[in-house]
Structure 1
Amino acid sequence: MTPAPNQHLGWYQARKLPHYDAPHVLQFITFRLADALPITKLRQIEAELRMLPAAEQEIQRRRKVEYWLDQGLGCCALARPELARVFRQGLLLHHGRRYRLMAWCIMPNHVHVLIECRYSLARIVQSWKSYSARWAVEHNERLGLGLQGGRVWMRGYWDRYIRDERHLAAAVHYIHSNPVTAGLVKRAEDWQWSSAGRELDLL
């Protein structure tokens, strides 16, 4: 069931992922393209996790997924400036109304966003995906995006609510540093598709 735009669900679980949806909470959100992690790689990750204590598995799962996302697997359609620009437009479209956009980074095969929620988090993420997916499918063949079967985004998303100022600073640093960590640029502000060193209202 899709929540109403102003309906906040609190703690809930979807597709085996825990989510926290509440008004005015700061959320660090990550989601990826449908082919960013091949099924063989996901199975490898799960096999490695089974050797760990249960309490460590979720933390290590996220670390391993983040590592492999930064290796640039899949079609990396977001590396095309045309699609990255459309996704950025979608992010900025409801900034200041449905959410306050605090930091963001568009990587070749995944996206990181930090927002203060005002609408339902699930509806916000759905709107970003829908806005960009329609355009991507329409222009897939012309631009050679490499999208298969009309599917653009992997279902679901990861979210972490920000606990305190230290956590906030760490989240912003992670988001802005991701292109550097992935070896795409030497300085965070050199990556065109992020908020690093940019005023959001001027983009």
Structure 2
Amino acid sequence: MNQHFHRRNLPHLYFSDGIYFITSRLKNSIPLEKLEQLKNESLNIDDEKQKRLFKKYDALIDSGEYGEKYLNNVKCAEIVKSTLHYPDGKDYKLICYCIMPNHFHFVIGLLPKNKGISKIMQSIKRISARDCNKVLNRSGAFWQDESFDRWVRDDKELYFVIRYVLLNPMSAGLVDNWYDWEHTYCHSDYLVL
């Protein structure tokens, strides 16, 4: 198992295989002062505190208080869906995803000879930003530069991550049942609800 450490604003530990939980959000979906607060809280924390910190982060984007909600546009949500499905079977096995109004979560299992998380995410963001900007008749940055990513360590964690992704529309108060959210997908091998 090859690995490398990458740091921008967030630390990233990438392995060449395994399962990843990734969250990507639209540009300006969290105000800078709130991000700084989260960044300061993230210094030197253990795994359990990191999970609680992610819940704070996700609650901020789920609140819908900040930034644009371009992914409410059905055409944009469909573009993101197709960019998530395209590498399925090539670079990764797509386990599940949920596309929310201003962010998306997805879980993937990396396949042998994949091009790596960083390049996979660059491709997904570049293509979806270009196509969504066309639909919205806008230009400029669409996605936040960095995504949140977490290497899933075992089957128990995978179970909870999948539940978290699928239940996100319910947690955000958008639907009463997760399966009513049309921008959710889960491979049948992993359906846990």
Report the TM range for the smaller structure's normalisation. Answer: 0.7 to 0.9
What CA deviation, in whole Å up to 9, does each residue of 1:38-96 have, x standing for no partner?
Answer: 2243345567x49xx95366444322211111101211101110100011011111211
2:149 matched to 1:159?
A: yes
TM-score, normalised by the number of residues in structure 2: 0.84
Instruction: Report what 2:24 is aligned to.
Output: 31
The letter of the residue matching 1:14 is: R
2:127 matched to 1:137?
A: no
- Write out aligned runs for 1:1-203 (5 A): 10-43=3-36, 45=38, 49=41, 54-55=44-45, 58-72=50-64, 73-118=66-111, 119=114, 120-141=116-137, 150-196=140-186
Counterpart of 2:140 in 1: which secondary structure? coil
The letter of the residue matching 1:65 is: Y
Summarize the Cα distance change of 1:76–1:183 in structure 2 as closer, same or farther, 3 Å threshold: same
Instruction: Report what 1:5 is aligned to.
Output: none
**Structure 1 stretches (4+) deviating beyond 4 angstroms?**
43-47, 56-60
Structure 1 stretches lacking a partner, 5+ long = 1-7, 142-146
**C-alpha distance in structure 2 between counterparts of 1:46 and 1:123, whole Å:** 24
Counterpart of 2:185 in 1: which secondary structure? coil
- Determine which structure has more spread, i.e. the larger CA radius of gyration: 1
Paired residues, number: 183
